[in-house]
Copies of this chain bind each other. A is one copy, B any other.
Amino acid sequence: MDAWLPSWNEGTAKSTIVGFVDRVCATGGSDFVPPAERIAVFDNDGTLWCEYPMQVQVFFALAEVHRLVTQNPGLLAKPAFKAMVDGDLKALATLPKKEVFEPVFATHAGMTVDEFRTKARAWLHAARHPGVGQLFTQGAFTPMRELLDYLGAHQFRTYIVTGGGVEFVRAFAESLYGIPPEQVIGSSTRMQAEVQGKDIVLRKRAELGSFDDREEKVVNIALHIGRRPIFAFGNSDGDLAMLRYTLGGPGPRQAWYLHHDDSEREFAYDREFKLSPFAEGLDHANEYGIGVVSMKHDWQRVFDDHADAIPETA
């Protein structure tokens, strides 16, 4: 049937998505939505790429943490810093996301935004997942990249709304997903603008600006986009508010959860994953009108084994 979404199995999930896109694009139809209002929002970790057993950005921070703790040994009193310095991934995985992400964000304080992006890109270009042995960027889900392309081709504007750091995700979002920097919304540390000779440069501070998770995702969508999305995709309780906000408006709208139920091709986890549990969302998806995509049943393949590394420079 449809040439789009080739890595999706024929089934309810695919046909429901395709039917929705057809309806909102049908000029003159009762469900037509003008292109300007075709806003789609996607979580990143666990939705667009693999987040298990730990989010990619945590691996990125591990190397830097040693330097930070040498400068300020008092940080070891914080369980997340201690676990990171010890390389104790098991201990890290028992902590709530915010406790782990705060030191991750703090790790690059003092760097300019340009320096940070260069560093992140160089790391992403070469770093490999310690367990799986592949480049982290090869952990992007092929069916989700297809979905982003499909929506983009139908004049949707696709945004990433991530708990990850906005500058980290911008370092790869354009080459990996085709999503430009202005369509990435994420967590952020405060920045300061400094005069440096004839230029003004931006420097990252240690102080958290926004932790873009749960209700804060809705707040940031309102602040950055100023329109309510009509399509949303997530994979954890951290996305539930965003999915419900998407569904709350008038007219046609859809919201989806990806369920990681594929221990052979990726991983099977949900409510027990302390770093980013999927429990309330899983229990209430039906009641809230949120569709659930099964990785195991709805996807013909998960990864693109021939994926290139992202380029080292922009």
A residues in contact (CB < 8 Å) with B: 36, 113, 157, 166-167, 170, 180-182, 184, 188, 190-193, 195, 198-202, 209, 215-216, 218-219, 222-227, 241, 244-245, 247-249, 288
Q: Which residues of B contact A202 (CB under 8 A)?
A: 218-219, 222
A181–B227 touching, CB < 8 Å: yes
Distance in Å: Cβ of A99 to nearest Cβ of chain B:
22
Q: Known A181-B227, A200-B244; judge A193-B215 contact (CB<8 A).
A: yes
Distance in Å: Cβ of A207 to nearest Cβ of chain B:
12
Q: Known A202-B219, A222-B113, A223-B188; judge A245-B180 contact (CB<8 A).
A: no
Distance in Å: Cβ of A171 to nearest Cβ of chain B:
10
Distance in Å: Cβ of A208 to nearest Cβ of chain B:
13
Ordered nearest first, which 4 A-B pairs have the shortest CB separation? A181-B226, A199-B248, A193-B215, A193-B218
B184–A226 touching, CB < 8 Å: yes
Known: A192-B219, A200-B245. 8 other contacts (CB 8 A): A166-B223, A182-B224, A193-B219, A193-B245, A201-B248, A202-B219, A202-B222, A209-B223
